[in-house]
Structure 1
Amino acid sequence: MHATYAPLLDAVVEVLPTGVEVLFLADRGFADVELFKHLHRLGWHYRIRVKSNFLVYRGQQGMPISFYTLSTSHALFLHQVKITKARYGLVHLALAHHYPSRERWYVVSDQPTTTETFVEYGLRFDIEENFLDDKSNGFQLESSHIRSAARLSRLCLVLAVATLYLTSVGTAVVDQGERRQVDPHWFRGSSYFKIGWHWIRKALVQGWPIPTTVALQSALDLDPCIPSKSQAAKRQPLYFRGTTVDCVLPLEQRLSTA
């Protein structure tokens, strides 16, 4: 699978600003030694979730991650370990048993791990909103029934440009204090993409001028989306009791870092 998306990663390098620091985030489907090596060659950092059967080597004996017992709301940070049968490393792991979801998180990182590692990995879930906008909440991409890879690629390019434009319109509407004309919630309840979508539709009906520029602010979101008060009430800050173990390996093993 790595060979399939490696050219895409290389192409991204060509369009990135000089000197930018990249943090690559991915779920368990991308936990692959060849990907780790490729990211290392690119000079990118990464936080990638791995499965419970991933082998961890703190010495000669490898153990699956599930071997480490985690009590509720307890995090374990393993530094300078090797992973998989290929004994790739040295890398760092962040393991946690999250409450109240009772979900177990296992994240591999090229940098020493802390509780902040879980926050960084959590940024990956922002892409889920984009998937929703591409599908049922917006463009209905799956309804196209396009089977040609070339045609689908061209359509996705058009949708990407449209997403950029609508998101730009949405952020401008919020910044100008006009959001409640198209999103009546007391707090923002729709994505910037959807606010921009509704604004353009209303502008066409009302005869308002259509924005012709695209601009996205780099500042933090000052108007976070809150779909409902009940969901907002359930949100809790991450809290873990953490233990850090620095697994210093013998010198002859440390020399083989890929």
Structure 2
Amino acid sequence: MVLILDTTMLWNEYCIVRVCVEYRGRAVPMGWRVLRHKSSSISFEVYQPLLRRVSRLIPTGVEVRFLADRAFIDTHLLRYLTEELGWHYRIRGKNDLWVWCGGQPPRQLKQFHLGLGEAVLLQRVKITKTDPYGLISVALARDPISGELWYIISDETPTLQTFQEYSLRFDIEENFLDDKSNGFELERSQIRSSIALSRLCLVLSLATLYLTCQGQQVVACGFRRRVDCHWQRGNSYLRIGWEWVKGCLHQGWKCFHSLQLFGTPDPEPAIASRRQAQSQYQRELTVKSYCYAP
């Protein structure tokens, strides 16, 4: 199970902290908290109770991979994930994060000068300059196409797959977009109460789950072309489910009664752009791997 933590702002006045389950290119909300807060940056003490509540909902024996952006890189979080929850993690690091490589003097991540298409995998290193934490892994790379730098902190042995695993974090941004301008228009509610907004988030979460379940059933039954005219699936399961429910109201179609998320691989991944999909196979990386003794 892949869990994603992130925040979003409403009117620069309220902050929604949300944990989602990654599912087939989207994220389904699992837990959240609404705060009256002027910034999207929050401390570990604020979201730690949310992680604890979410952990109680996960069945015993399920392996969890936790994803978060660089705003959440915190040694308190890393300790809590491994020592208390027993979760694995992939968290993006900041370029000014200090790294200890064996007996060498500490360096900031930005001091690793990477060329285009170069990746460096560091094992058994420590992070932070004061009170170093580890031993963990750091995967660094410069995208050969965009030139963007990536720093991924992990508790497991890093490989090129580490970057792919972290990329699933962006699915929660699509979830926030569905809540706002691309779907439910949350910001038009004009609600100015953290309690009322939290209740509204419950309604949106149930709607997201229901529409996603409807959409996957539409695809499984071969009815997708009724609501998605692309030769290959171009819309999310939520959008397909949304259009299907509209068809049930206006065309006399029937809604599906099951409410479950299939655990099998996506039989028909969405392709918003054929050119963008093909570009994913044009990346070539030169990899250097280092393992340091404790």
Settle same-fold status: TM greater than 0.5. yes
Determine if the alignment matches structure 1 residue 183 to structure 2 residue 228: yes
Q: Does 1:67 align with 2:111?
A: yes
**Is the 8 Å Cα contact of residues 179 and 186 (structure 2) preserved in structure 1?**
yes
C-alpha separation in 2, matches of 1:140 and 1:206 = 25
Q: Secondary structure at the match of 2:53?
A: helix
How many percent of aligned residue pairs carry the same amino acid? 49
Specify the alignment match of 1:51 in structure 2: 94
Distance 2:282 2:212 in 1: 28
SS in structure 2 of the partner of residue 81 of structure 1: strand
How far did residue 238 of structure 1 move?
Answer: 4.7
Q: Distance in 1 between matches of 2:287 and 2:161?
A: 11
Contact 2:145/2:283 (8 A) holds in 1 = no
2:122 is the counterpart of 1:78 = yes
**1:122: which partner in 2?**
167
Larger strand share, 1 or 2? 2
Deviation of residue 228 (structure 1)?
A: 2.8
Q: Highest Rg: 1 or 2?
A: 1
Shift of 1:106: 0.5
- For structure 1, which runs of at least 5 residues remain unmatched after alignment? 250-258
User: How far did 1:193 drift?
Assistant: 0.2
**In the alignment, residue 58 of structure 2 is paired with which amino acid?**
L
Query: 1:222 Cα deviation (Å)?
Result: 1.5
Q: Does 1:12 align with 2:57?
A: no
**Equivalent residue for 2:189, pick from 120, 140, 144:** 144
1:256 — aligned with what? none
Amino acid at match of 1:80: R
RMSD over aligned CA atoms reads 1.4
| Cα distance between partner residues in 1 of 2:134 and 2:289 | 18
- Equivalent in the alignment of 1:254: none
More helix by share: 1
TM-score scaled by length of structure 1 = 0.92
AA of the residue aligned to 2:154: S
**TM-score normalized with structure 2 length:** 0.81
* Cα distance in structure 1, aligned partners of 2:159 and 2:135: 16
More divergent stretch after superposition (230-239 vs 161-170): 230-239
Which amino acid counterpart does residue 116 of structure 2 have in structure 1?
T
Give deviations 1:34-64, integer Å, cap 9, x for gaps. 1111112211111100111100112262110
Distance 1:96 1:120, change over 3 A: same
Tell me what 1:108 maps to: 153
Distance 2:79 2:276 in 1: 40
Secondary structure in 1 matching 2:153: strand
Aligned residue type for 1:179: R
Q: CA deviation at 1:136?
A: 1.3
